[in-house]
Amino acid sequence: MFEAMLSARLALALRAGLRGLHPAIAAALGPLAGENLAIGALVADSGYSHRRFIALFRGAIGLTPKEYARVMRFDRALALAADPARPWAEIAFEAGYADQAHLSREFSALAGMAPQAWRRTGATSPRHVAAPANAAPGQIRSRRPR
């Protein structure tokens, strides 16, 4: 879903004639995709105020820098979890979570299911979980109440 959202934003930007990211945003994407979550330092390096940097980032990416970093950390965890023999505590540590419980909470919030439930689905790709056979398009929802 995240990839589809970013692709849609890129298509809109290209239709509007915008051919690239703002240089301050482009410079921030690398560190935010890694384990370096020093958003304050990225803001200072940009030369913009905190509020302006967040607005530029949200306008270009669709998420705040913190939300983007959260999704990137989750993406690292999914890639590591592709190995079913790897323990969740190790995955949490390597992906940059404080502990296994932190990974579990984030996993449930972002994937709509517990990490072990995700593993039991037998996903053919780390970033794919088959929809239930009886689910209509657009009807798949998180188990968390809204």
CATH class, 69-120 region: mainly alpha
Closest CA to 81 of 103, 66, 98: 103
Say what the pTM is: 0.72
Domain ranges of the chain: 2-67, 69-120
Block mean pLDDT (10 aa), the chain, length 146: 76 59 85 78 92 94 92 92 92 94 94 89 68 52 46
**pLDDT at residue 36 in the model:** 62
Closest CA to 49 of 24, 26, 83: 24
Give the whole-angstrom CA distance, residue 62 versus residue 11: 13
Give the whole-angstrom CA distance, residue 2 versus residue 50: 25
Side chain identity, residue 110: L
pLDDT, tens digit, 9 for 90 and up, residues 60-71? 999 999 999 999
How far apart, in Å, do the first and last CA atoms of the chain sit? 19
